[in-house]
Amino acid sequence: MTGKTFSSVWLREPRKVTSPGRSREEIVRAAVELLNEEGLPGLSMRKLGAKLSAGATSLYWYVANKDELLELVYDEVWGEMMVPDPDEVGWREATSVLAHSMRQVILSHPWSADLIGRLPALGPNALHVANEMRRMFKQAGFTGLDTDYAIATLTAFIFGMTIPEIAWNAKAGTEQYDAEQMKSAVAQVAGRYPHMRESFEMTEAENPRVVREVAFDFGLVSVLDGLERRLPT
């Protein structure tokens, strides 16, 4: 059975603009701004055209469809991540800085979480991050497929911690869920479970954002410690 033909905006050269107008970079930046304001449901070629004071049809000169536009903005997000040189700071510091940066960038663009795994990360920024991650772990001493397994472990941790945080941020303190009501509900149901009650009482007065940042750092150090223990001695 023949599958659907794979296509990507990165598999063809950008069309040359022969008349004064918007550049693809301007369109991508405007799309990111629109996504930050309204999320994925709010992105349309019509709205983007209005934001740029241009007709929606003119945007199709730069991208064939909305999916191609999403590929471009997705790569723009990858380009915001800090990627230290492991030769200068060492592999653990490099991976730690990148992990924290990746979390912060995704949190600052919550809509990007919905694109992880949905779109191919074939843009130059995403490939640069992937290439440098591989260099970091190779410098650590990983070889062969173990290098890929180490990268998969780290990225699974980052996404696994960050994506639920985005979902929580989207609900807490909104009209749909009041943060204090949520805390009251948790306290009510946790009362029947002593270990959960203890956990809730310890964190109730803490700033949730600080707790999540500390939890991320705790988990990251644990992941890197575990990976380091797997290195050949």
Q: 127-176: per-residue pLDDT in tens?
A: 999 999 999 999 999 999 999 999 999 999 999 999 999 988 887 655 55
- Per DSSP, what are the bridge partners of residue 172? 177
CA distances 16 to 12, 19, 23, 61, Å, are: 12, 9, 10, 9
The pLDDT of residue 72 is 96
Angstrom distance (rounded) from CA 147 to CA 172:
38
178-233 pLDDT per residue, tens: 667 767 777 788 778 888 778 877 777 677 888 899 999 999 999 999 999 999 87
More confident: 18 or 6 = 6
pLDDT at 18 over 80: no
- % the chain with pLDDT above 70: 91
Query: What are the phi and psi torsion angles at 172 (to 5°)?
Result: -65, 130
Tens-digit pLDDT profile for residues 55-64 = 777 888 788 8
Q: What structural domains does the chain harbor?
A: 9-77 (1.10.10.60), 80-229 (1.10.357.10)
Question: What pLDDT score was predicted for residue 179?
Answer: 62
Query: Which pLDDT score, from 0 to 100, does residue 4 have?
Result: 75
Torsion region of 12: left, alpha or beta (phi above 0 gives left; psi -120 to 50 gives alpha): beta
User: What pLDDT does residue 64 have?
Assistant: 84
Q: What is the mean pLDDT of the chain?
A: 89
Residue 24 burial (10 A CB sphere; 0-12, 13-18, 19+): middle
CA distance 54 to 21: 9
Give the number of other Cβ atoms within 10 Å of residue 110's Cβ.
Answer: 19
Instruction: Look up residue 52 and give its two tokens.
Output: 């740029």
Task: Give bridge partners of residue 177 from the DSSP assignment.
Answer: 172
Q: CA angle 89-94-100, nearest 5°?
A: 135
Q: Is the dihedral of CA 113, 119, 120, 123 positive or negative?
A: negative
Task: For residue 55, count other CB atoms closer than 10 A to its CB.
Answer: 12
Q: What's the whole-number mean pLDDT along residues 105-131?
A: 95
Residue type (1 letter), 181: Q
- Residue 120 Ramachandran class (φ > 0 left, ψ -120 to 50 alpha, else beta): beta
Which of the given ranges, 2-6, 16-20, 92-96, has the highest pLDDT on average? 92-96
Q: Is 115 helix (H, G, I), strand (E, B) or coil?
A: helix
Please report the pLDDT score of residue 17 as a whole number: 62
